[in-house]
Structure 1
Amino acid sequence: MGRRPHPRNAQAQRSPWPRLYGRHAVIAALSNPERVHRKLHITHSAMKQLEAEYDLPKGFNVQFGDDSDLGRLVPADAPHQGMVLEVEPLDSRYLGDFLGDDFGKRPLVVLDQVTDPHNVGAILRSAAAFGAVALVTQDRNSPTESGSLARAASGALELVPWVRVVNLARALGEIGDAGYWRIGLDGAATRNIDDALSDTRPALVFGAEGEGLRHNTAEHCDELAKLPISSKMESLNVSNAAAITLYAAARRL
């Protein structure tokens, strides 16, 4: 007979809605007019901090508890900081909304089966910091909204439009037809990212942790490029690579 799940984790898993936790993620979600909020679980001390930064509307669904009460709503050891917000997932955005000329040379970020929510959250944070137009992922083999992803994004989940597509290769075709220069990051490429970016309107394509870009995804890129890292290191974590690449793209704006 298998071990019974820890009651704290079991209760967290039974929630029908994503639960966002931590001050940055919760306040960003509360401030997002496109976000539907279900219930705010909060300690009295955290409410005093929240009221200094955000005015809850009258009638907002609030349930007070202590740290242990909130701890039972989230994964073990999750740093909730006294705030847990139940929300409805944001609607996926339409790719066509980001293929016009209104965004100048700001980059699109495309992820090819990056599944770790911490990495996707960190990439969203860098995308917001360096002015990316949107994040594009395949709706399969990519994480859904979660507390861990939102915490890693530190508010950027509410700021960067997230486009989920059925077929990534087809989406890359549409992106190329719209005038984006599709650059796939590959450590084995011969050209450095600065040279590849040049004067382009880039779509930056990052592969999965460990495996890198799939062959079909690489075939739908205009070129492959690498980061000029030391030969002593084989590669970087995908979120670190994305941050450096987005910084390089932002320097041209």
Structure 2
Amino acid sequence: MAILIGIHPVKEALAAGRSLDRVLVAKGAGGPRIQEIVDLCRQNKVALRFEPRESLDRSAGANARHQGVVAFGAEKEYQQIDEVVGGDLIVVLDGVEDPHNLGAILRTASAVGAGAVVIPERRAVGVTETVAKAAAGALEHIPIVRVNNLAQALEKFKKAGYWIYGLDERGKLSYDNADFAEKSVVVLGAEGHGLHEKIRSACDFLVRIPMSGPIPSLNVSVAAGIVLFDWKRQRGNK
């Protein structure tokens, strides 16, 4: 069972009609945002319980900031590649392991209008409560595809008419000079080692973010924001 922690993730899950088993609200918690949660629970006929804050602390974990709201529901349902083919932009993540990075990338991908985010089954983080919190509600608005073989997934997108752009510090083409195709797949590598060689070779283009200082690369979620919003700029902010 999935746990959603915090006001924004729970509100977005309720607003999106996600199947939730129950929502816990800390006794004494109030304000318009808490009232919105309460109203959405009643509208959606989701069980709502007011419990001591200590009970929410135990459910969320000692280090989690739940803001007085915790929800329990079904795990995030992953989709198949065939279900997401057709969107103008697909974001593929080659082994991102940090849940905060995955959550931030999901939020950015949703903000630019991406059709889906694709992640591998192995050696990568899946959807967790930490990812949901970092995504700040975006988890409910963007499809996620989890695949066994990332290289084969890229080939499927190629056959469907997409061009593949891998972000790599060794790329010769600056991201802002890349002429993104109408159907684009942007591939982002893992923290530390970047794209795996097999994935690099599957890309049609390798693009880089020019760096002026001694640090050769950016955090993957920051890099995602730069490149994906440039894709959006080229699309005329549509």
Same fold (TM over 0.5): yes
> What per-residue deviation string (whole Å, max 9, x for no partner) do you get for residues 179-209 of structure 1?
1110111011111112223444210001110
1:99 aligns with 2:85: yes
Equivalent in the alignment of 1:5: none
- Cα distance between partner residues in 2 of 1:44 and 1:113: 40
Please give the residue correspondences for 1:12-27 in structure 2 after superposition, counting only pairs within 5 Å: 17-27=1-11
1:74 aligns with 2:60: yes
> What per-residue deviation string (whole Å, max 9, x for no partner) do you get for residues 204-246 of structure 1?
0011100110011111111111012224321100000001111
More strand by share: 2
- Cα distance between partner residues in 1 of 2:80 and 2:175: 28
> What per-residue deviation string (whole Å, max 9, x for no partner) do you get for residues 95-147 of structure 1?
112223xx3xx321000111111100000000111111100111222223222
- Cα distance between partner residues in 2 of 1:213 and 1:199: 21
Equivalent in the alignment of 1:60: 46
1:51 aligns with 2:35: yes
- Cα distance between partner residues in 1 of 2:41 and 2:116: 29
- Cα distance between partner residues in 2 of 1:162 and 1:126: 14
Please give the residue correspondences for 1:82-231 in structure 2 after superposition, counting only pairs within 5 Å: 82-100=68-86, 103=87, 106-231=88-213
SS in 1 for 2:223: helix
SS in 2 for 1:55: helix
TM-superposed CA distance for 1:162, in Å, is: 0.4
TM-superposed CA distance for 1:77, in Å, is: 2.2
Aligned AA (2:36): A
Please report the TM-score for the alignment, with normalisation by the length of structure 2: 0.91
- Cα distance between partner residues in 1 of 2:170 and 2:11: 41
Please report the TM-score for the alignment, with normalisation by the length of structure 1: 0.86
Aligned AA (1:150): A
How many percent of aligned residue pairs carry the same amino acid? 37
1:28 aligns with 2:12: yes
**Is the alpha carbon distance of 1:61 and 1:129 closer, same or farther for their aligned partners in structure 2, counting shifts above 3 Å?**
same
Q: Which runs of 5+ in 1 are unaligned?
A: 1-16
Q: CA RMSD in A?
A: 1.7
Q: Which runs of 5+ in 2 are unaligned?
A: none
SS in 1 for 2:211: coil
> What per-residue deviation string (whole Å, max 9, x for no partner) do you get for residues 163-187 of structure 1?
1111111000001111111011101
Aligned AA (2:108): S
SS in 2 for 1:135: strand
Moved over 6 A (4+): none
